[in-house]
Structure 1
Amino acid sequence: MFTPNKDIPDLSGKVYLVTGGNSGIGKETVLQLAKHNPQNIFLAARDQKKGEDAIADLKKAVPNASITFLPLDLSSLKSVYDAAETVKSTSQRLDVLVNNAGIMATAAGLTKDGYEIQFGTNYMGHALLVRNLMPLLKKTAAMPGTDVRVVALTSDAHAQAPKGGIVFDGALKTTMESTMTFTRYGQSKLANILHIRELAKRDTEPRITYVTLHPGLVSTNLQSDFMKNHRYLGAVLGGARSILFKSVEQGALTSLWAATSPGVKSGKYYVPVGKENAGSNYSQDPKLAKRLYDWTEDEFSRLGY
């Protein structure tokens, strides 16, 4: 059993970035990393007050922790671009990027750049973040004795993606209101897996480890918001929540394992805790992964990123 206090090594000199680090699994990830003496942790969040409040709370537990708030709204590619530029201009290295933030089964809508809200936030935002931080990640990977990683939280719900996996026929730039919200969520999580696997496939020296993971059913604000938005299902799940859902502390274990443990294999998908899982058939489709990667690069180029 992975135990953070015992199994996370000394992190002296290392720099981490955790998206959505102000609450839930993200905050717990920052907390446990902070206990092991990293040089700095960027806590990325959309809301500055919530981010700074989270840092104040974390420093009560780890007074000497170096934690820096990073403004990041994943639904805005401009915000993502600015966040990456801030990191590159203020840090000489980045050892591990943990793409933790996300939204789930929300009402139909569009991001600021015109993408289906869940796809744009969960996938496009993180894809641009990885892309724009790549020079710093590669610079760090070239340093002696480093072990640079990109860890992306996804979900077993990726298996609920629509027929074909990713809808490329223009629907990604609509609200996809006629498609069930959980199907749209599954599509965004499938995209995370495909993208990370394609990055792992394309990786060259100096090497970076790319992994995706399912944290399990965890009692977080994400699930609370989902149950508020889906009252009938929320009522059904609410009564069984303490049985079905893990605590945040348990839910963060796979993220922490993937970010710090030896033996993590690039391109793999993991379930709690640290167990390899094949994922859905679509998630293993190399042609779909390449198509998504190429489509994404074309979109970023079209938008000037």
Structure 2
Amino acid sequence: MAGLYRLYHDKHNPPADFTHISFHGKTILITGATSGLGFEAALKFLQQGVSSLIISSRDYARGQQTQKELESRTGRRGVVEVYPLDMSSFQSVVEFAARVNTELLSSGRRLDVVVLNAGVMHRNFVCSEDGWEDTLQVNTLSTALLAELLLPTLQRYNSEQVIAEGDVPHLVIVSSGTALRVRRKDLLPPPSLSSSSSHPLLDYLNQPSTRKKYAISKLLIEYVSRSIADQTINPNGSLNVIINTVKPGLCASALGRQYTTRWYGRLAAGMFNWLFARSAEVGGRVLVSACVQGYESHGRMWKGDGVFDETGTLLGKEGKALKDQAWKEVSDVLQAQSSKFNVSLDVR
């Protein structure tokens, strides 16, 4: 009951809409912007003056439709660019990042904000073309790979003057409150796998029988984002980029559509969302607000009205060993992709 009360409270007490913030002169990239929270965030960026907005779409035609809708609703043409991206494919991620990095460099543009919002929630076991369970690949592995590939461009044009002006680039990774409810027992691989695998955690999550795949994938991307955040702190304690995650809360969107294929599922979901879910617009404002948080949000989870208190969760002290293990296993996968596609990654 306490959980339902929190959902009800959050629905009726939405966070502030940061409409006073201007994104004029900035280049922003957001994945998963063709619907839901990503679309609403893209809309807000345009309404608040962003000079260049890059959105991704697995279906390029759908991306073009989204571009037209964004232009129609804001009256701003020539601002939105659509790049194809399939997060279920490491090759697509590498090609997308290469295009972003090359085109921004050739045009002399900075990359000011990256919002990695694309994600999936599968009801059944789905295997990606790279052999990974698709939830794990999209929400964790491909997101981590894309973050690492874009990080040098985010930091490329930084300087002491930029830092002094408080104009530090942001890397925002969309997480989920479900990550906070994962317990250590949910991450225990069978003894046979623990002794035989060099990556027991990822291999365990890659099995059809593993439960809570979505929540665990979000916990892992929390670990990844914090590990990257730790590595980007300069020796003098300064930052060239602010890296945070964001928990938008329960929002009405198409993310869980595979769970509502039957009429009674749609009815139940509709009633539940009516009672407890925020609108996608409110979720979008949480994403946007994460992009303007200061140094105190680096390596932390933003929830719309502050950073999250991690006490008693696997994001706190209890999860330190898990974080180190998860980062080692994920970074091994990233290094393998770096070698396969001949791209440079600063993964430590």
The alignment's TM-score, normalised by the length of structure 2, stands at 0.79
Q: The residue matched to 2:178 in structure 1 has which SS?
A: helix
- On the 8 A contact 1:166/1:191 being kept in 2, the answer is no
Q: The residue matched to 1:228 in structure 2 has which SS?
A: coil
What is the RMSD computed on CA atoms of the aligned residues?
Answer: 2.4
Aligned counterpart, 2:16: 2
Which amino acid is the alignment partner of residue 71 of structure 1?
Answer: P
Aligned counterpart, 1:292: 326
1:148 matched to 2:169? The reply is yes
Distance 2:183 2:72 in 1: 41
Specify the structure having the higher radius of gyration (Cα).
2
1:160 matched to 2:182? The reply is yes
Distance 1:184 1:198 in 2: 21
1:187 matched to 2:216? The reply is yes
Equivalences for residues 1-305 of structure 1 within 5 A: 1-5=15-19, 7=20, 9-65=21-77, 66-91=79-104, 92-142=109-159, 144-145=161-162, 146-158=167-179, 159-160=181-182, 163=185, 165=187, 168-169=199-200, 172=203, 175-180=206-211, 183-205=212-234, 206-228=239-261, 235-262=267-294, 265-278=297-310, 281-284=313-316, 285-303=319-337, 304=339, 305=341
Which amino acid is the alignment partner of residue 178 of structure 1?
Answer: S
Distance 2:227 2:130 in 1: 24
Q: Larger RCO: Structure 1 or Structure 2 (Cα < 8 Å, ≥ 6 residues apart)? A: 2
Cα distance change, pair 144–14 in 1 and its aligned pair in 2 (3 A): farther
- On the 8 A contact 2:297/2:307 being kept in 1, the answer is no
| Percent of paired sites with the same residue | 23
- On the 8 A contact 1:271/1:277 being kept in 2, the answer is no
CA offset at residue 260 of structure 1? Answer: 2.4
How many residue pairs match? The answer is: 300
Distance 1:14 1:67 in 2: 12
Greater Cα shift, 105-114 or 156-165: 156-165
Cα distance change, pair 174–203 in 1 and its aligned pair in 2 (3 A): closer
Distance 1:118 1:170 in 2: 14
CA offset at residue 105 of structure 1? Answer: 3.5
CA offset at residue 2 of structure 1? Answer: 1.6
How big is each residue's C-alpha offset from its partner over 1:60-106, in whole Å with a ceiling of 9 and x where there is no partner?
12222511101111110100000100000111321111011100143
CA offset at residue 280 of structure 1? Answer: 5.9
Distance 2:40 2:306 in 1: 17
Greater Cα shift, 285-294 or 196-205: 285-294
Greater Cα shift, 18-27 or 282-291: 282-291
Distance 1:127 1:222 in 2: 20
- On the 8 A contact 1:161/1:187 being kept in 2, the answer is no
- On the 8 A contact 2:59/2:84 being kept in 1, the answer is yes
Unmatched runs of 5 consecutive residues or more in structure 2:
1-14, 190-198, 342-348
CA offset at residue 276 of structure 1? Answer: 2.5
CA offset at residue 55 of structure 1? Answer: 0.7
Q: The residue matched to 1:283 in structure 2 has which SS?
A: coil
Cα distance change, pair 171–259 in 1 and its aligned pair in 2 (3 A): closer
Which amino acid is the alignment partner of residue 2 of structure 1?
Answer: A
Distance 1:189 1:60 in 2: 34
Distance 2:205 2:330 in 1: 16
- On the 8 A contact 1:118/1:188 being kept in 2, the answer is yes
- On the 8 A contact 1:110/1:174 being kept in 2, the answer is no
Q: The residue matched to 2:55 in structure 1 has which SS?
A: strand
Aligned counterpart, 2:10: none
- On the 8 A contact 2:252/2:273 being kept in 1, the answer is yes
Unmatched runs of 5 consecutive residues or more in structure 1:
none
How big is each residue's C-alpha offset from its partner over 1:11-38, in whole Å with a ceiling of 9 and x where there is no partner?
1221111010111000100000111222
Distance 1:187 1:51 in 2: 29
Cα distance change, pair 279–241 in 1 and its aligned pair in 2 (3 A): farther
CA offset at residue 179 of structure 1? Answer: 2.1
